[in-house]
Chain A
Amino acid sequence: MELERLALALRPRSSWEAIDLGIRFGVANARTLYRGYLSVALPLALLCYGIAALTGIEPWWPALLLWWLKPAFDRVALHLLGHAVFGDQLGPRALWRALPGLWWRGGLLRELTLARLSPYRSTVLAVSLLEGLGGKAARRRRSLILRQVSGTALLQTGLWPLLETLFVLSVFSLSLILLPSELLEQLDWEALWWDEGRQYWFIWLYYLAFQTGSCLLEPLYVAGGFALYLKRRTDLEAWDVELQFRRLARTLPVVLAILLAGFLWQSSPAQAADSQREAVLQQADVRIQQILEDPVFGETITEHKLQKRSRPASTDDQPGRTWLEGLMRWLDLEGLGKALADLIGFFASLGRIIGWLLIAVVVVLLAWLVARTRLPARYARQAAPPAELAGFDIRPESLPDDPAAAALLLAGRGDLRAALGLLFRSSLSRLAHDEGVRFAAGDTEGDCLVRVHRQARAHAPYLARLLGCWQRLAYAHQSVDIGEISQLCEQWREQFSVEVPHGT
């Protein structure tokens, strides 16, 4: 068998997929298939129905006979499909010539009697027809072929009669849709079919539709079964692998031969090349002299090449240098070349300096970034302190010249709340503006204390005490000793001593 001529793609398939492929193949070869099939089935059907019509036999007798003879027609369909699979489109003439052989070849008798009602008949038909097996061998072969596909084969055989019925019903539905309604009203449907007053034309019409459907669908059923058979053969004998191997075998020897040849002959060409090289080298000096005697080489030309100083060897293949060289040779301007070389050297050192400068800038930038995030507040660039903090106005201009004195005055008047508020406000103002503590606009009193603790540790205990006092008075409404307030005022001067002369 020449698998390479197969018109079907070989690959592992599920059973249903195989049946789909078979039907698709049948439809794709519909011309050959139906021409051949009908050339056999149509005359026989006409003969049967003709005899029935002439002798007055009920038409279901020829219908039954033709139905019973289906395996004989299946053989015709399979013969056509078997050739089509290898690309042979058999015409009716070739088919008729093969017909006696098809029917007399063993197995038809069995198919028409014992196996007529077998649900697997289209799948195993190829065993007797194409493989030509008979008897015990055929039985074993059939069971092997059916082993994994019997369920699908059975369902397939069950589905086609449904489709035939569907065909008949569709034909009648279609004619009902297309017939004029006046005509339909005159018809008595029951009377058409049943004994009294039944209409022969209607019954004959029914058998016409039935027989047409049967003739149209039977070849496709055979095609489905044949594809199932091919699927089993492909699975059992790895036809797809064989095909792959055959294709590969055609290309592989060439590749391997080239590889092998390369391997075997590698040593001797290398030796030959070595001896040749020696000979050339020995003659080299003489050859060079001969060539230099040519008038073209009569004069001495000094050339200046632009080369990278550190690596002169590897610059040979730089395109920029070769065109420059060519240009200079063309111009024959040695001085210009020299000047150009100097110029380029100057630019090179300039570039180097700029590079170092860039690196320095980057280093400085990095240092600045580190300083900004890591170093204490006073070294970092300051944002302007907020005007208001924790509900207090901390702008320096809003404060009295000597806040401590002013606070003491207020305390003396009994306004302890205002005195402590002023003291706290001025502390925050000094811390923000003079000590560089970076308060944020939304800081609460507690946040302020935390920041002072981090950024101006020296002032933290005082501020903590002041804040405690303020909170006791303002929020807890506890009485605060006036002596404590005057003490805080004095300490304020000590804490922010730099500002005392300024205040007084």
Chain B
Amino acid sequence: MLDTLRPVTTPELIEIRLHPAGLLPRALAWLIDLMLRFMLLALAGNLFSLLGEFGSGLWLLLFFLIEWFYPVLFEVLWRGSTPGKCALGLLVLNDNGTPVGWGASLTRNLLRTADFLPFGYALGAVSMLLHREFRRLGDIVAGTLVVYRHTTPATLIPTATPIPPTAPLGREAQRAILAFAERAPRLTPERQEELAALLPTLAHGAQPPQGAARLLRLANHLIGRQA
């Protein structure tokens, strides 16, 4: 079963799943950042040109600082995201899930020179295509990971009169019923019944609510809603 997740176990033995982001969204984020930097430098160029040669010196300094430290500053001080990454809902983390620090961020961004080779991040792109967690060389060296901040919107289970199950349910069964209830509002009624028919032992009982309606009411019981 192929998936793009990276499971991380915290010291408290809680497993969390990071969602690494691949080549395309990251390339898009980089393009957005590129345009932002370009606009910033163009604006600064216009302003500094009033100062003559001193201005162009200042501009070169600014160019140096922005080229090298724009990602670092944003990643460390702005919750792991440059504006481009933020627009795509991405952020940089250490590969154990902790926020990225100065050292790791500096490493991964200084190594952009390596990823850039031979032109336009070609090496980085190849690395991201081949790596299981979509890491470019800088990420591999710094032990960092670019992940999605939010993956799926939170869903609400529709309200129904809760009924208890006739027999105690295992964790898998509970999870399946809750997953069904979360998805039910976006399914057609026919599809809901089709799915419910797969679980006749749970979806059909002695009393009237049968099929999908019964599963929904079970889900309401499972999340502790009161009648």
> Interface of A with B (CB < 8 Å)?
6-9, 11-14, 16-17, 19-21, 23-25, 27-28, 155-156, 159, 162-163, 166-167, 169-170, 172-174, 176-177, 220, 224, 235-238, 240-242, 244-249, 251-253, 255-256, 259
Nearest CB in chain A: distance from B26 CB, A: 9
> Interface of B with A (CB < 8 Å)?
1-5, 19-25, 27-28, 88-89, 118-122, 125, 129-130, 132, 134, 148, 150-152, 167, 170, 172-173, 175-176, 179-180, 183, 186-187, 191, 195, 198-202
Contacts of A21 in B (CB 8 A): 2-4
Excluding A24-B2, A224-B24, 5 further A-B contacts by CB distance (< 8 Å) are: A17-B151, A24-B4, A167-B122, A246-B198, A249-B198
The 26 listed contacts between A and B (C-beta, < 8 Å) are A6-B1, A8-B2, A8-B3, A9-B5, A14-B148, A16-B24, A16-B88, A17-B148, A19-B22, A24-B22, A155-B24, A155-B28, A156-B24, A159-B28, A166-B119, A170-B118, A170-B122, A176-B118, A224-B24, A236-B186, A238-B180, A238-B191, A241-B195, A242-B198, A248-B173, A252-B199
Q: Which residue of B lies closest to A246 (CB)?
A: B198
Contacts of B130 in A (CB 8 A): 27
Is there contact, CB below 8 Å, between A9 and B2?
yes
Contacts of B27 in A (CB 8 A): 159, 162-163
Contact of B129 among A16, A27, A156 (CB under 8 A): A27
Is there contact, CB below 8 Å, between B22 and A241?
no
Q: Which residue of B lies closest to A27 (CB)?
A: B129
Contacts of B118 in A (CB 8 A): 170, 173-174, 176-177
Contact of A252 among B25, B148, B152, B202 (CB under 8 A): B202
Is there contact, CB below 8 Å, between B119 and A169?
yes
| A429 CA / B67 CA spacing, docked (Å) | 83
Query: Given A159-B27, A244-B179, A248-B199, are A256 and B167 neighbors across the interface (CB < 8 Å)?
Result: yes
Contact of A245 among B22, B28, B129, B198 (CB under 8 A): B198
Contacts of A220 in B (CB 8 A): 129
Contact of A17 among B19, B23, B200 (CB under 8 A): B19
Contacts of A249 in B (CB 8 A): 198-201
Nearest CB in chain B: distance from A254 CB, A: 10
Q: Which residue of A lies closest to B176 (CB)?
A: A244
What are the 7 tightest A-B residue pairs by CB atom distance, in nearest-first order?
A20-B22, A170-B122, A173-B119, A9-B3, A173-B118, A244-B176, A245-B198
Is there contact, CB below 8 Å, between A20 and B152?
no
Q: Which residue of A lies closest to B132 (CB)?
A: A24
Say what secondary structure dominates the interface of chain A: helix
| A17 CA / B172 CA spacing, docked (Å) | 25
| A167 CA / B120 CA spacing, docked (Å) | 9
Q: Which residue of B lies closest to A216 (CB)?
A: B129
Is there contact, CB below 8 Å, between A14 and B151?
yes
Query: Given A23-B23, A249-B198, are A241 and B183 neighbors across the interface (CB < 8 Å)?
Result: yes
Nearest CB in chain A: distance from B17 CB, A: 10
Contacts of B122 in A (CB 8 A): 166-167, 169-170, 173
Contact of A259 among B152, B167, B183 (CB under 8 A): B167
Nearest CB in chain A: distance from B126 CB, A: 9
Query: Given A14-B148, A20-B134, A256-B167, are A7 and B22 neighbors across the interface (CB < 8 Å)?
Result: no
Is there contact, CB below 8 Å, between B202 and A159?
no
| A439 CA / B101 CA spacing, docked (Å) | 59
Is there contact, CB below 8 Å, between A20 and B180?
no
| A24 CA / B36 CA spacing, docked (Å) | 30
Contacts of B21 in A (CB 8 A): 16-17, 20
Query: Given A159-B24, A163-B125, A166-B120, are A20 and B4 neighbors across the interface (CB < 8 Å)?
Result: yes
Is there contact, CB below 8 Å, between A169 and B120?
yes
| A246 CA / B180 CA spacing, docked (Å) | 12
Contacts of B200 in A (CB 8 A): 249
| A16 CA / B199 CA spacing, docked (Å) | 32
Contacts of B199 in A (CB 8 A): 245, 248-249, 252
Contact of A23 among B22, B152, B180 (CB under 8 A): B22
Q: Which of B19, B148, B180, B183 has the most CB of A within 10 A?
A: B183
Nearest CB in chain B: distance from A179 CB, A: 12
Contacts of B173 in A (CB 8 A): 248, 252
Nearest CB in chain B: distance from A314 CB, A: 34
| A155 CA / B87 CA spacing, docked (Å) | 14
Q: Which residue of A lies closest to B168 (CB)?
A: A259
Contacts of A236 in B (CB 8 A): 186-187
Nearest CB in chain A: distance from B30 CB, A: 11
| A176 CA / B198 CA spacing, docked (Å) | 62
Q: Which residue of A lies closest to B197 (CB)?
A: A245
Contact of A7 among B2, B20, B132 (CB under 8 A): B2
| A255 CA / B138 CA spacing, docked (Å) | 51
| A212 CA / B24 CA spacing, docked (Å) | 20
Contacts of A156 in B (CB 8 A): 24
Is there contact, CB below 8 Å, between A14 and B183?
no
Query: Given A23-B24, A241-B176, are A253 and B201 neighbors across the interface (CB < 8 Å)?
Result: yes
| A68 CA / B37 CA spacing, docked (Å) | 36
Nearest CB in chain B: distance from A503 CB, A: 77
Q: Which residue of B lies closest to A260 (CB)?
A: B167
Is there contact, CB below 8 Å, between A16 and B25?
yes
Contacts of B176 in A (CB 8 A): 241, 244-245, 248
Contacts of B22 in A (CB 8 A): 16, 19-20, 23-24
| A14 CA / B19 CA spacing, docked (Å) | 10
Is there contact, CB below 8 Å, between A237 and B148?
no
| A224 CA / B180 CA spacing, docked (Å) | 27
| A240 CA / B155 CA spacing, docked (Å) | 15
Contacts of A159 in B (CB 8 A): 24, 27-28
Q: Which residue of B lies closest to A12 (CB)?
A: B152
| A340 CA / B20 CA spacing, docked (Å) | 74
Is there contact, CB below 8 Å, between A19 and B24?
yes
| A14 CA / B148 CA spacing, docked (Å) | 9
Contacts of A240 in B (CB 8 A): 179
Is there contact, CB below 8 Å, between A23 and B119?
no
Contacts of A28 in B (CB 8 A): 2
| A156 CA / B22 CA spacing, docked (Å) | 12
Nearest CB in chain A: distance from B184 CB, A: 8
Contacts of A24 in B (CB 8 A): 2, 4, 22, 132, 134
